[in-house]
Chains A and B, each alone.
Chain A
């Protein structure tokens, strides 16, 4: 049987589509991951450009959706960062749309979920982390280091508390990226495992896992939205922290 050697993890395999010469020792080949990123970017551009093309006073369906996504992120920033956060709207909105479309594209059968790769999520998380740290230092100078001194703690405990605070700060990009990556990877693997049960249990017992797959697909759509939301709101919180330290 051809289906025998199908592993549930096979969906995460990177396949080179167009081989490109290495640049500075880095493999820059065009892979299926890159392909889906390009597809996501194209879809986002088409969605937003087409949605805002008419600009009717009474929005149509597409315009309504484009405006909803805009307002969702705008409100998120306003609620967390405040008015100063407006400057960072383009960054946060791009992140949100890129992750959301990546997650949703992954729900299309036979597609590739680029957000299920820690390289991608960690790349985004470390960019946010570095950006926010630079922002904090640019904004507050060396005063930013006061962050690592917890208030209301006696100086005796500083040698203990400051390393803890620094580790806690450095763990931000890890938790930010692992959360997205783990949720997507686990969810998609689970879907494939249960789908495999449908085949192996056959027509007699296959209906139970089939029902599971249907339910899990629904859950995965929820996760796709939620994880994009969580990544975005944490980015907002980090920006807020860097802007107003306390």
Chain B
């Protein structure tokens, strides 16, 4: 009974407001990093160990394949093993510092409004 007369107007206003708020929420949803809860913290911890080993396997395997292809028996494998180790450390470093959770890529700090993300 209080605002029966202005109800359509206020409803429309409400609709416009809602739409605006939703658009803003959508805008920010993709930008804001996910808050690390208790479960995702554990999930995060479970991720780290495998990153190192995975890169080592890929590095060593790639070296072996290239060796077989080019006939340079042990050398490329050794080189790629070291490169794989470096890539593994890079992965772990990126996961641990939260630089772009997508492992293996550059930190997304260049364009994003990320605050504590150093270049690297």
**A residues lining the B interface (CB < 8 Å):** 78-85, 147, 150-152, 163-165, 167-172, 174-175, 178-179, 182-183, 222, 225-227, 229-230, 233-234, 237-238, 240-241, 244-246
Contacts and interface: CB of A to CB of B under 8 A. Distances in A.
B78 interface: no
A82 B26 CA distance: 7
A78 B46 contact: no
Nearest to B33: A79
Contact of A171 (B43, B88, B108, B120): B88
Contact of B39 (A80, A84, A229): A229
A100 B44 CA distance: 18
A28 to B, nearest CB: 28
B101 to A, nearest CB: 5
10 contacts: A83-B30, A84-B30, A164-B86, A171-B58, A174-B55, A175-B51, A226-B39, A233-B40, A244-B108, A245-B105
Interface in B25-51: 26, 29-32, 34, 39-40, 42-43, 46-47, 50-51
A241 B111 CA distance: 13
Nearest to B79: A163
B43 to A, nearest CB: 5
A172 B55 CA distance: 8
Nearest to B60: A167
Given A238-B102, A246-B110, A164 B39 contact: no
Interface of B: 26, 29-32, 34, 39-40, 42-43, 46-47, 50-51, 53-55, 57-59, 62, 80, 83-84, 86-88, 90-91, 100-106, 108, 110-112, 119-120
Contacts of A237: 101-103
A32 to B, nearest CB: 27
B29 A82 contact: yes
Nearest to A84: B30
A80 B34 CA distance: 7
Contacts, number: 123
A170 B66 CA distance: 15
Contact of A229 (B43, B87, B100): B43
A164 B29 contact: no
B28 to A, nearest CB: 9
Q: Which residue, A81, A170, A225, has most C-beta atoms of chain B within 10 A?
A: A170
Contacts of B26: 82-83
A163 B105 CA distance: 13
B81 to A, nearest CB: 10
Contact of A174 (B58, B106, B108, B120): B58
- Going nearest first, the 9 A-B pairs with the smallest beta carbon separation are A82-B30, A175-B54, A241-B102, A168-B87, A174-B54, A167-B87, A171-B55, A168-B104, A171-B54
A172 B62 CA distance: 14
Given A164-B90, A226-B39, A230-B43, A172 B50 contact: no
B54 A227 contact: no
